[in-house]
Amino acid sequence: MLRRLWKPVVGTAVLVGAPGYLYFKYTQKPKPRDTFDLPVRVRGPDGKASMSTRAVPLLTKEEVEARLRAHAQTASTTRRGIVWKQATAFLAANDPIEDANASKIIERDPSEVSPAGDLMFFAVMDGHGGYNTSRLLSRVLIPAVALELNLLINEPSSYMPKMGTLENLKALLKPTIAATLPFDANPELIALAIQRAFTNLDSEIVDAPLRLIAQSMLEGGDKEKPQQIPDLSKHPMAEAMIKPAICALLALFDTAHRNLYVACTGDSRAVAGVWEESPDGNGFWRVDVLTEDQTGRNPNELRRMQAEHPKDEASTVIMRGRVLGGLEPSRAFGDARYKWSADVQALLNKAFFDGAGQAMRSAPALLKTPPYVTSRPVVTHRELSFLPGPDADKPKGKSTLKFVVLATDGLWDELSSEQVVALVGGYLAGLKGTVPKSELRHLVPTTTGNTVEGKQKRQKSEEEGSWAFVDDNVSTHLIRNAFGGGDEEKLRQLLSIPSPLARRYRDDLTCTVVYWEEGREEDARTSNFSPEQVKAKL
C-alpha cells in the first residue's frame, strides 16, 4: 500500500511545490539590508567642500566574521625543544591594501665559534604610496639582510672601523667584551649590518628612475649630438618608480646566540610582553616597547632632523609634526620627493610625465637641503635568556620574555602598547567571552610601557566598553579589539565602510605575533613559517 502511494505524493509535490517556489522566488522582494548614516565630504558645483550624509549598507555579523578571518594565518615549528608560534592577520582599508608582510627561517650550521641555531625573520611593511613597492619589499628585504649578515661573517674587515696605532694598542692590552664576541654575536655589528641592508636597498629604489634615464640615453644617444632627455612616459613602470613609499619593521631572532634584534624604519611599532613573576607566585606583564614611532612628533626625531640641516631650517624641517609640513614618517623607504633635489625632480618630471601631458607632484615648497627622510633604521637588541645555552643549568630568572607583537600603525592608531600586551596576555591565559575594559587590568595586570608616541591617536575611553576574547588567531583578536571589541554594532559599522571612505576612519592594519613555549618535538604540529626553508652557513 505504501509503495503505491509514494508516486502520487511526489507528483503532487512537484506540481504544486515547484511553481510555488518559483512564484515566491521571483515575486518576493529581498529583505532590504540594514544601513547606517555616514558623514562624508563632498564637493559642490563651485568646487567647495561640504559635509553630507551617505547611507552605507551594514555588513551582517557573518560577513564581519568572514572579513576578519579571511587573511588570518597561523603556523608553528619546533626548533631545539622550543615550539615557536606565529599568528599573522591583516585587514584592508584601502583597495588594494598597501600593507605587506614576510617571514623566513634560515638554518645555520655550527662553526668553530658559533653553535647551531636559526635566524628567524618576521617583517611587516606599511605602504603609503600604493601597494606595489610594499609587496616588492616583502620579497627582498629579508634576503637583503641575510646577505649582509653573510658578508659580516665572511668579510668582517669591511665592518671594522679604522683605528690608529694607539687605539689598536689599547684594544690588544685590554680587549672589550664586544671585541671577544664572534662577529655574528656582536650586537653593534649586527645592527650595522641590518642598517646597511636597509639603506642599500633604499638606494636601489630611489635611484631606479635615474638609472633608467641614463640607460635610455646611452642606448639611444648619438655621440656627435647633444644628449636629449628621453621620453619615458609610456614606460610600464614610470609611475611606480616615482611614487614608492614604505615603512618597514623587521624582527630577527638569532637562536644560536640567543639575541633578538628589531629594526624600525617608519611609524610601525613592536612591543614585547615580559612576564614578571612575583614573590606570591602570581605575577604581571611588563610592557617592553622595542621601537619608537619615527615621526616629527617624536622629540628624538625632531632633534635629529634639526641637527642634520642648517640652523635656518630648524623651524621648518618639522612643521605640524610632519616633515616639511607634509610627510608624517621621518624615516621611510622611497618617499623620494624628500630625498631628491629640486633639479632632479624637474628632470624626472620631464622624462616620465611630459610626454603624457601630465606632471608629477611638485617638490615640497620648503625643500632646500635634501635628503630630509632616511631609510636607516633604529635597531634595538634584547637577550633571549629563555633559550637553551651553556648556562642552561643556572636557575631561571623571574623575568621572562614571552611574546613579540609587530604591527603597522593601523593598530597603534587604535590601541596603546599596554592594551596590546594585556590583550595578548589574556589570550595566552585562556580568557574567553566578553570582558569589560575596566576589569581587564585586574585579570591581566600590566605595567606602563615607555612608548614614544609619534602619532595623534583617535580619542577613546580607556574604561568604557568591553574587549572580546573569541578568536583562535591572536592577531585577528587584536584587530577585532582595535575596531570595536565587544561592541558588535561599532565593529560592524567600521568594517562596513567601503574604500576609499574607510581610510578616514581606519587604516590598513597588518599584525604578526610571535610567541613560544617549551615542548617536545613529537607533541608539536610542525610547519614552516614560509613555503621554503633555506639552509645556509651564516
**Confidence band (pLDDT; 50, 70, 90) for 225?**
low
Burial class (CB in 10 A: 0-12, 13-18, 19+), 534: middle
Mean pLDDT of the chain: 85
Stated pTM of the model: 0.87
pLDDT computed for residue 162 by the predictor: 59
pLDDT computed for residue 10 by the predictor: 41
pLDDT computed for residue 531 by the predictor: 33
Q: What is the average per-residue pLDDT within 345-353?
A: 93
Torsion of CA 499, 500, 502, 504, to 10 degrees: 170
Q: Could you give phi then psi for residue 262, rounded to 5 degrees?
A: -125, 125
pLDDT computed for residue 30 by the predictor: 53
Q: Is the pLDDT at 146 greater than 70, yes or no?
A: yes
pLDDT computed for residue 165 by the predictor: 55
CA distance 289 to 334: 26
13's grid cell: 509535490
SS3 at position 15 = helix
Looking at the domain 58-162+177-219+231-294+329-335+373-536, which fold is it? Answer: Phosphatase 2c; domain 1 (3.60.40)
CA distance 305 to 308: 5
pLDDT computed for residue 228 by the predictor: 84
Of 317-331, 366-380, 437-451, least confident by mean pLDDT is 437-451
Residue 278 neighbours by CB under 8 Å, 6+ apart: 284
**Confidence band (pLDDT; 50, 70, 90) for 520?**
very low
Q: What is the average per-residue pLDDT within 459-476?
A: 88
Q: What is the average per-residue pLDDT within 387-416?
A: 83
Number of Cβ within 10 Å of residue 261's Cβ equals: 22
pLDDT tens, position by position, 250-297? 999 999 999 999 999 999 999 999 999 988 778 999 999 999 999 999
pLDDT tens, position by position, 149-208? 999 988 888 776 655 555 544 544 555 545 567 888 899 999 999 999 999 999 999 999
Q: What is the average per-residue pLDDT within 433-439?
A: 96
What's 147's DSSP letter? H
Q: Is the pLDDT at 518 greater than 80, yes or no?
A: no
What is the amino acid identity at position 201?
L
What's 184's DSSP letter? G
Number of Cβ within 10 Å of residue 28's Cβ equals: 8
SS3 at position 340 = coil
426-432, Cβ contacts within 8 angstroms, sequence gap of 24 or more: 426/467, 426/469, 427/469, 427/474, 427/477, 428/402, 428/403, 428/474, 428/515, 431/469, 432/469, 432/470
CA distance 198 to 498: 34
**Confidence band (pLDDT; 50, 70, 90) for 22?**
very low
- Alpha helices for 92-228 (secondary structure H): 132-154, 165-173, 177-180, 187-220
CA distance 461 to 417: 15
- Measured between alpha carbons, how far is residue 492 from residues 54, 93, 474, 483 in Å? 16, 14, 20, 9
Of 54-68, 353-367, 458-472, least confident by mean pLDDT is 458-472
Boundaries of every domain in the chain: 58-162+177-219+231-294+329-335+373-536, 295-328+336-372
**Confidence band (pLDDT; 50, 70, 90) for 48?**
confident
**Confidence band (pLDDT; 50, 70, 90) for 7?**
very low
pLDDT computed for residue 406 by the predictor: 98
